[in-house]
Homo-oligomer: A and B are copies of this chain.
Amino acid sequence: MYCLNSDYTEGCHPLILEKLQATNMEQTTGYGLDPYCDEARELIKAACQRPDADVNLLVGGTQTNLTVICAALRPHQAVLGAVTSHVNTHEAGAIEQTGHKVIEIPTPEGKLTAAQIQAAWTKYATDPSREHWAQPKMVYISQPTETGSMYSKAELEEIYQCCQANNLYLYVDGARLAYALGAPSCDMTMADLAHNCDVFYIGGTKCGLLFGEAVVILTPALKEDFRTIAKQHGSILAKGRLLGIQFATIMKDNLYLELGRKATLQALKIHDALATHGFKFVAESPTNQQFVILTPAQYDKLSEEYVLSLDAYRSDGNYNVRICTCWATLDEQVEKLIAMIPQL
């Protein structure tokens, strides 16, 4: 059985483990104040072309989201996000636990638009009883989204302009950022992203690291005392160098983007093979996650060889199935899967 159900099934890129091995008995200061974290921060700031950024290395995605949002908002402020956004779904109410409402916006393919954000803001700002409403203050988007879609550079710019015009922070969750930046159809760079939001994170856990997410804070108001608020949420790793070493490794020599590119190309290859044979998709995705509709028989057949993710039962009896490649996916397994498609 081979897993194509998620992008956190393997350990990490071999170069990382090599480096962890090489540095294992070195002694360093804890809590992210070591030279490896310094190196990682410099590499990230360079990739972002934002020498003014504050970079903080945390362990996981939910942890990062709750820490960033809690640090940014006053008690009555809320975050706007798509219904399908990770903060509104698979985080067990983490944002609410820190005291803040997630205002959910329905969106067919997981992407917010500037128009939706403007409408949500205007609805609030023009309500005569707005003093009685949670105040939208931050917009949360994911690049790529939880459903595989991707913002273009123009869409991102438009969203950020809308946020700035309405005094809203824009926060971009990049848990799978490598798979967006590495996608053939992506028209933005990490630097573009870093110039079109207030804070974002570069996902490591799903993109070749053992674990780790690099929070890049661009707007000065969000920088103050971030480390202490992270500490308060249990988000500071004692042996912080583990994060520094991993990010320093992956950010060098374009490795982060290369891993993303490889996986996305594999996913698109699977997509094209499915499309060629007439399969329909839940939604079109230009990134490493493909969401295809299968009959139970087709699913069962594929499941003899592959672990896939059965996301939902359709009313017509068919299944929504996620097929997910990652930095570690083997080309031979992709080929083998593609070879099975005509016989489904």
Contact = CB atoms under 8 A, between A and B. Distances in A.
B131 A231 contact: yes
Given A8-B239, A26-B10, A60-B237, A232 B75 contact: yes
Range, interface on chain A: 35 or more
A132 B231 contact: yes
A239 B203 CA distance: 14
A142 interface: no
Q: Tell me which of A64, A90, A135, A234 has the highest count of chain B C-beta atoms within 10 A of its own C-beta.
A: A234
Indicate the member of A9, A23, A132 with the most B CB atoms within 10 Å: A132
Interface string A46-78: 000000000000011111111100110011101
A279 interface: no
Copies of this chain assembled into the complex = 4
Interface stretch (A91-99, A159-167, A265-273, A291-299): A91-99
Contacts of A23: 11
Interface string A5-37: 010111110100100110111111111000000
Given A74-B225, A75-B232, A91-B234, 20 more contacts: A3-B27, A11-B24, A14-B24, A17-B21, A60-B237, A60-B238, A61-B238, A63-B235, A76-B228, A91-B232, A92-B134, A93-B100, A93-B133, A93-B232, A96-B99, A96-B100, A131-B227, A133-B228, A134-B232, A205-B238
